[in-house]
């Protein structure tokens, strides 16, 4: 093994998963996915339902076997290993806590199955209960605690055996908004405290951006882009990624010339500027789509330097800022987001003609 | 009374009207409960009272009872009256029948559990459509009368039956193995008759089982055996208990099966009772045995309920 590969906690190589009989009439849940998850990182698999993220998690956990490809855990092949022989634990979407056991018994179950001594089980269970702040519920039955508490117990149960990798399958989806926010911070803290690699599955892009060290965006069984939340947000490589994460404006443009990282472009309105090229951009030329975030647009007075001339269609006020729905002269719909500062700038009204400037560094050319 | 009059009533009258309303409610409640109570009285309490009364009477000469108080029926169970000097001496012949019945019923229950649990598990883990097909097949034997099914069993088990003939044809045995009229035959008959009563409640428990819990068990380092022992069986316990009760109780009191498959050699309590009301013409004795059998079942059920209750309480604390 080279030094490079040994840094990966999980190394997924050209893995496919097909449900059903053959590739032709089966359902392809994962399509030739390769991915490396580093040790000690909070890694998120993000995508809409049915994109294959849960399948990938189940392949790592061992509940499913890959149709093709291989998965390595700290350089050990996982092929053929049943789930109970993998040093990996899962926090299930609906927690799957054992209803006939107490909170402590649930948390101690993994250690007990590993054949640990009673004294050690007690010690670890107490430690983990303290870690998730649940000491006072140790002897309760599962049916006697709330959803948020069950969530913490599920987390404690999966952490107690100190797995090499913790898999989390949309664990926050059943919680209400406030509790979810709280648990997001909690999860991040736990990951830092324990130093365990977390692989987190979610369809909530905000959740993914706030917690993760790196995010993989998935769709239709493929990984579209892997990067830090900032890279993913600022430089979405694919149209799907741009659409899926946050609000974004997509404009038509034409490539005039390009080097390896940037290209000169002309927007459909005629304005010439430059934009970043995505990584896999060999084939890009001619007509392309350019993405820009609503907060990177700005009203200006000077018509000469304006990138776009627009008409205001609608204004949505939301306290700290406002959304402006605009229509360009070419008929493209875009949005602009602006912080509200008292006396800071001009007041605009619906149907006003406005001049818009684009923050040049924020333009990103998309691959389809 | 109407709502509008209620509004104008002073305090004391109001409470009086509340009391009246409560009385009315009680009346309605009793009226609604009456059919249920009537049924319980008619088909539960009344027959039992008759049996209890008969057991303390003297047998009539041609069956039936004479209205003379006697405890002879209960004494008879354990003691034999000497015909000549009218002294009583201990006899174990009836106790043996009780013992055999108990042993056969326990054996049939355990065997049904061992066959029924995997069967129920198999059905519960099929797809919903195939599940109903399997359940349908489990219930098919019920369409035929138990007597006829037991006769079929008899034909299979006898010396010239399918099993013996088959084995002889294959040259595995030279002489027929006597299977009919043994405890083995009775036990086999009981299992065959009552197995569905084991499978169905266990299936009902397993069908409700959340198989994600099984996955969670595997995830937490439990192998197949441990998942079965620590997760599946504890969660299927209500079904297992119901199945065991539903097989054990009718097995203990069975009489068609031991009658046909046990011959005169493997008598069970059911046959004993049957004989008392038939050829022996000793209704009080038959009633007494029936009551003792019922008491035995009741006591064992109460022990079970108490034990499982304690377990639940300790898990709670």
Domain A8-234 has CATH 3.90.180.10: no
- Using the beta-carbon criterion (under 8 Å), do B213 and A98 form an inter-chain contact? yes
Query: CA torsion angle for A303, A309, A313, A318 (degrees, to 10)?
Result: -60
Tabulate helix, strand, coil % of chain B (nearest 5).
Answer: 75, 5, 20
CB A131 within 8 A of CB A140: no
pLDDT at A344: 61
**Contact check, Cβ <8 Å, B210/A96:** yes
- The whole domain housing B279 covers 93-124+180-315
Q: Round to whole Å and give the CA distance between A149 and A147.
A: 5
B186 in a domain, yes or no? yes
List all residues 6 or more positions away from A170 whose beta carbon is below 8 Å from its beta carbon.
A54, A93, A201, A202, A203
Cβ separation of B235 and A157 shorter than 8 Å?
A: no
User: Is residue B225 a contact partner of residue A101, using CB atoms and an 8 Å limit?
Assistant: no
Judge whether B59 lies within some domain: no
- Residue A23's pLDDT band (cuts 50, 70, 90): low
Give the percent of chain A with pLDDT over 90. 55
Residues 6 or more apart whose Cβ sits within 8 Å of residue A24: none
Query: What is the spatial distance between Cα B234 and Cα B312, in angstroms, rounded to a whole number?
Result: 12
Per CB-CB distance under 8 Å, the chain B contacts of A99 are 213, 235
CATH number belonging to domain A247-365: 2.40.50.140
**Among residues B197, B91, B178, B99, which one has the least CA distance to residue B139?**
B197
pLDDT at A173: 85
From-to residues of CATH 3.40.50.300 in chain A: 8-234
- Taking CA A339 as the corner, what is the angle to CA A334 and CA A344, rounded to the nearest 5 degrees? 115
A17 Cβ under 8 Å from any chain B Cβ: no
Does any CB of chain B come closer than 8 Å to the CB of residue A195? no
Chain A interface test: which of B210, B215, B216, B218 (most A C-beta within 10 Å): B216
CB pairs under 8 A between A and B: 62
Question: What is the Cα–Cα distance from B136 to B130, expressed in whole angstroms?
Answer: 10
Residue B132 DSSP code: H
Structural domain total, chain B? 1
Chain A residues whose CB is inside 8 A of the B217 CB are 98, 109
| A340 touching chain B per CB within 8 A | no
Using DSSP bridges, classify how beta strands A287-292 and A364-366 pair: parallel, antiparallel or unpaired.
antiparallel
CA dihedral A218, A224, A229, A230 (to 10 degrees): -160
Q: DSSP letters along A293-358, please?
A: -GGGEEEES-STT-SEEEEEEEEEE-SSEEEEEEEETTS-EEEEEEE--TTTS----TT-EEEEEE
Note whether A238 and A250 are within 8 A (CB).
no
CATH classification at residue B278: 1.10.3720.10
Strands A214-219 and A42-46: parallel
What's chain A's average pLDDT? 89
The string of pLDDT tens digits covering residues A114-157 is: 999 999 999 999 999 998 888 899 999 999 999 889 999 999 99
Question: Quick one: average pLDDT of A192-204?
Answer: 93
Closest chain B C-alpha to A57 CA, distance in angstroms:
12
Position B12 scores a pLDDT of 65
Q: Which two tokens stand for residue B34?
A: 């009456």
- Which tokens in the block code for residue B266? 């493997």
Alpha-carbon span B284 to B66, nearest angstrom:
10
In tens, the pLDDT along B251-294 reads: 998 988 998 898 877 788 999 999 999 888 899 999 999 999 99
Proportion of chain B above pLDDT 70, given as a percent: 93
pLDDT digits (tens, 9 = 90+) for B111-151: 999 999 999 999 999 998 899 999 999 999 888 898 999 99
Is B50 a domain residue? no
Question: Across-strand partners of A90?
Answer: A167
End-to-end CA distance of chain B: 51
pTM: 0.80
Cβ atoms within 10 Å of A166's Cβ, excluding its own: 23
């Amino acid at each position: 093994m080279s030094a490079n590969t040994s840094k990966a906690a999980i190394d997924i190589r050209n893995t496919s998963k097909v449900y059903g009989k053959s590739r032709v009439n089966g359902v392809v849940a994962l399509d030739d996915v390769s991915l490396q998850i580093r040790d000690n990182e909070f890694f998120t698999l993000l995508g809409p339902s049915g994109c294959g993220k849960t399948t990938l998690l189940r392949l790592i956990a061992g509940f499913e076997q890959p149709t093709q490809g291989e998965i390595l855990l700290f350089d050990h092949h996982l092929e053929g290993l049943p789930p109970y022989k993998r040093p990996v634990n899962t926090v299930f979407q609906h927690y799957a806590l054992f209803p006939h056991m107490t909170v402590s018994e649930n948390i101690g179950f993994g250690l007990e199955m590993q054949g640990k001594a009673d004294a050690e089980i007690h010690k670890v269970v107490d430690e983990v209960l303290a870690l998730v702040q649940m000491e006072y519920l140790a002897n309760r039955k599962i049916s006697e605690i709330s959803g948020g508490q069950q969530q913490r117990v599920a987390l404690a149960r999966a952490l107690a055996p100190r797995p090499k990798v913790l898999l989390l399958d949309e664990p926050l989806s059943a919680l209400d908004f406030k509790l979810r926010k709280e648990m997001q911070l909690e999860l991040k803290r736990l990951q830092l405290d324990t130093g365990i690699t977390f692989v987190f599955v979610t369809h909530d892009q905000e959740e993914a951006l706030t917690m993760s060290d790196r995010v993989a965006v998935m769709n239709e069984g493929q990984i579209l882009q892997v990067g830090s939340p900032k890279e993913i947000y600022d430089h979405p490589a694919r149209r799907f990624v741009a659409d899926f994460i946050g609000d974004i404006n997509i404009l038509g443009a034409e490539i005039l010339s390009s080097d390896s990282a940037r290209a000169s472009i002309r927007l459909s309105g005629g304005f010439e500027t430059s934009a970043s090229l995505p990584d896999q951009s060999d084939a890009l030329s001619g007509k392309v789509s350019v993405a820009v975030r609503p907060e990177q647009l700005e009203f200006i007075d000077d018509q000469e330097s304006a990138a776009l001339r627009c008409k205001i269609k609608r204004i949505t006020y939301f306290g700290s800022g406002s959304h402006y729905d605009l229509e360009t002269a070419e008929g493209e719909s875009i949005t602009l987001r602006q912080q509200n500062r008292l006396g800071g700038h001009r007041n605009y009204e619906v149907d006003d003609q406005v001049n818009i400037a684009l923050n040049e560094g924020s333009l990103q050319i998309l691959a389809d | 009374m109407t709502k509008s009059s209620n509004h104008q009533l002073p305090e004391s009258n109001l409470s009086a009207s509340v009391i009246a309303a409560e009385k009315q409610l009680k009346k309605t409640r009793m009226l609604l409960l009456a059919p249920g109570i009537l049924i319980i009285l008619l088909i539960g309490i009344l027959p039992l009272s008759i049996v209890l009364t008969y057991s303390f009477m003297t047998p009539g000469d041609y069956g039936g009872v004479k209205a003379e108080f006697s405890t002879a029926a209960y004494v008879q169970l354990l003691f034999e009256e000497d015909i000549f000097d009218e002294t009583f001496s201990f006899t174990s012949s009836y106790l043996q029948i009780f013992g055999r019945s108990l042993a056969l019923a326990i054996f049939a229950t355990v065997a049904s559990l061992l066959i029924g649990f995997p069967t129920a598990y198999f059905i519960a883990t099929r797809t919903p459509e195939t599940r109903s097909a399997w359940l349908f097949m489990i219930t098919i034997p019920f369409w035929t009368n138990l007597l006829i099914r037991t006769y079929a069993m008899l034909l299979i088990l006898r010396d010239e039956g399918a099993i013996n003939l088959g084995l002889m044809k294959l040259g595995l045995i030279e002489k027929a193995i006597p299977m009919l009229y043994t405890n083995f035959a009775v036990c086999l008959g009981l299992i065959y008759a009552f197995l569905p009563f084991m499978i169905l409640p266990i299936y009902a428990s397993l069908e409700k089982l959340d198989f994600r819990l099984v996955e969670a068990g595997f995830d937490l380092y439990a192998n197949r055996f441990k998942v079965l022992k620590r997760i599946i069986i504890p969660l299927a316990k209500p079904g297992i208990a119901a199945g065991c009760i539903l097989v054990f109780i009718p097995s203990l009191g069975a009489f068609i099966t031991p009658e046909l498959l046990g011959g005169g050699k493997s008598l069970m309590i059911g046959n004993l009772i049957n004989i008392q009301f038939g050829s022996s013409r000793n209704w009080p004795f038959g009633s007494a045995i029936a009551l003792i059998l019922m008491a035995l079942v009741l006591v064992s059920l109460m022990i079970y309920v108490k034990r499982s209750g304690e377990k639940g309480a300790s898990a709670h604390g």
